[in-house]
Structure 1
């Protein structure tokens, strides 16, 4: 396992143990980065207007289209670190 993968796995565990729940926009960013890092570019059809949460998740993930998986992992790690230090919310 490469260093980036180990750090990514550690960050994924740490984000679930944050003392405060991040705001919705930060949660969307975390979701999108995680999906891009683990699955690559967005897949499937965009949810319809009745699935608001699914629509926002899809759009957040879609905005990262073309981002390399290792780059998404690094951005995810950095975001988790900023959440842990209180720099982001």
Structure 2
């Protein structure tokens, strides 16, 4: 897995034929954040920020996953979405 492959998948995800579901978008977000930043070390948003909490939780689910593993999973998931 190269950085170029990951970057290409990140660009291609914006041009999918079918709009991903909310759950798929959250999975993409969590994997992307883990691949680019690493483990989430930010406080969880307040109870009124539903969108922020959902995104925070999606990132948190990938905690402990290495950058390479997150990139590979992200690229594979984008390829799955492209095949739909």
- TM-score, scaled to structure 1: 0.91
User: In structure 1, what is the equivalent of residue 59 of structure 2?
Assistant: 61
CA RMSD across the alignment:
0.8
TM-score by structure 2 length?
A: 0.96
Q: Whole-Å Cα distance in 2 between the matches of residues 36 and 80 of structure 1?
A: 15
Equivalent positions of 1:41-52 (< 5 A) are 41-52=39-50
Aligned length: 84
Task: State how 1:1-89 maps to structure 2 within 5 Å.
Answer: 3-86=1-84
Residue 43 of structure 1: how far off its partner (Å): 2.1
**Can you give the 5+ residue segments of structure 2 that lack an aligned partner in the other structure?**
none
Q: Which runs of 4+ in 1 moved over 4 A?
A: none
